[in-house]
């Protein structure tokens, strides 16, 4: 490389770093929240996984499951029959069929809005999260709770909760991507609030129905939130002003 070209290369590199730091300064608050969600979620998942491996959550897991059953009959969940039916309705919001339908509808919306790149990124983010969730289930291979009867059919391992994790990944990712094309701050906040609420309800329903330990659901929430935050931060970085 000729020596005369080196100052030009150094100057170009300096300009790139300057633009990056200027962009980081403009996104300080939202970037900080994203980083907190990413590292906080990842740390929470790792801590839960280690605690589960050492069986430190066993007593609390069992206590919570039994607390949601009538004292006289552990096979009967608390509340009237309509509460059980409502729990099944809520848990379906984290199923493959419902999440797939919602994802497909959102992708079509992004395509019709002329956001083909956003649609492709969203599909990759949710598809990658689905693969990660199944890899974690296969790796930990935790048995389902046998303490109380299951109130719905289950097929896979217990840790982490697939419904809780995929609800967090899908709803938070879709809300974040839709918020990016929504100019009103109030509506962006509403989208994220609704995504968080639905995610929490899906996870809670899994414990109520007796198909997951509470620690499974917590791991699903933290792992899903970390993945969604990672994808959101990556999307912001890819679309930053050049």
Residue 16 lies in a domain: no
* Two structure tokens written together for 172: 């938070």
Residue with tokens 């990759």: 124
Total number of domains constituting the chain: 1
Mean pLDDT of 77-106: 91
The answer as to whether 22 is a domain residue is no
* CATH at 128: 1.20.144
Is 195 among the domain residues?
A: yes
The residues near 126 (Cβ < 8 Å, ≥ 6 apart) are: 99, 103, 169, 170, 173, 174
Rounded average pLDDT over 52-72: 88
Chain centre to alpha carbon of residue 110 = 20
Band (pLDDT 50/70/90 cuts) for residue 198 is very high
- Does the pTM surpass 0.75? The reply is yes
Answer whether residue 192 shows pLDDT above 90. Answer: no
Residue 126 predicted with pLDDT over 70: yes
Sorting pLDDT into bands at 50, 70 and 90, what band is 24?
A: very low
Asked if residue 166 has pLDDT above 90, the reply is yes
Provide, rounded to the nearest whole percent, the portion of the chain with pLDDT above 70: 84
Average pLDDT over residues 74-102: 90
pLDDT at 147: 78
Are 214 and 66 a contacting pair, CB within 8 Å? Answer: no
Q: Would you say residue 25 has pLDDT above 50?
A: no
187 part of a folded domain: yes
Angle of helix 214-238 versus helix 58-67 axis, rounded to 10:
100
Residue 12 lies in a domain: no
For residue range 135-160, list pLDDT tens digits in order.
999 999 888 888 787 777 777 888 99
Residue 167 lies in a domain: yes
User: Which tokens in the block code for residue 225?
Assistant: 């939130």
Kindly indicate the confidence band of residue 75, based on its pLDDT and cuts at 50, 70 and 90.
confident
pLDDT at 200: 95
Half-sphere exposure of residue 57: CA atoms within 13 angstroms, side-chain side: 21
Q: Which domain holds residue 171?
A: 29-238
Strands, E, within 57-182: which ranges? Answer: none
In a domain, 63, yes or no: yes
Greater confidence (145 vs 131) lies with: 131
Angle between helices 214-238 and 28-53 (to 10 degrees): 150
Q: State the CB neighbour count (10 A cutoff) for residue 35.
A: 13
In this model, does residue 14 exceed pLDDT 90? no
Relative orientation angle of helices 116-140 and 214-238, to the nearest 10 degrees = 150
Report the share of the chain in percent with pLDDT over 90: 38
- Better pLDDT: 47 or 151: 47
Residue 191 lies inside a defined structural domain of this protein: yes
Which is more confidently placed, 192 or 221? 221
Query: What pLDDT is stored for residue 45 in this prediction?
Result: 92
* 63 token code pair: 């206590």
- Residue keyed to tokens 């931060």: 233
pLDDT in tens, 223-236: 999 999 898 888 77
């Amino acid at each position: 490389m000729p020596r005369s070209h080196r100052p030009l290369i150094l100057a170009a590199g300096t300009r790139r770093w300057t633009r990056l730091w200027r962009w980081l300064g403009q996104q300080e608050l939202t970037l900080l929240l994203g980083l907190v969600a990413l590292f906080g979620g990842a740390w929470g998942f790792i801590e839960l996984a280690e605690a589960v491996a050492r069986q430190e959550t066993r007593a609390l897991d069992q206590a919570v499951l039994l607390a949601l059953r009538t004292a006289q009959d552990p096979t009967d969940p608390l509340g009237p029959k309509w509460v059980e039916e409502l729990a099944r309705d809520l848990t379906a919001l984290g199923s493959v069929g419902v999440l797939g339908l919602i994802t497909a509808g959102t992708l079509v919306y992004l395509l019709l809005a002329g956001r083909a790149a956003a649609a492709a990124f969203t599909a990759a983010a949710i598809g990658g999260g689905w693969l990660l969730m199944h890899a974690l289930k296969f790796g930990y291979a935790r048995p389902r709770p046998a303490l109380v009867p299951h109130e719905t059919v289950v097929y896979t391992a217990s840790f982490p909760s697939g419904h809780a994790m995929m609800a967090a990944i899908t709803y938070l990712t879709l809300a974040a991507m839709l918020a990016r094309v929504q100019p009103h701050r109030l509506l962006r906040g509403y989208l994220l609030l609704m995504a968080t609420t639905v995610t929490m309800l899906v996870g809670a329903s899994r414990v109520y129905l007796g198909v997951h330990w509470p620690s499974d659901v917590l791991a699903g929430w933290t792992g899903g939130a970390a993945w969604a935050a990672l994808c959101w931060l990556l999307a912001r970085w890819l679309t930053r002003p050049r």
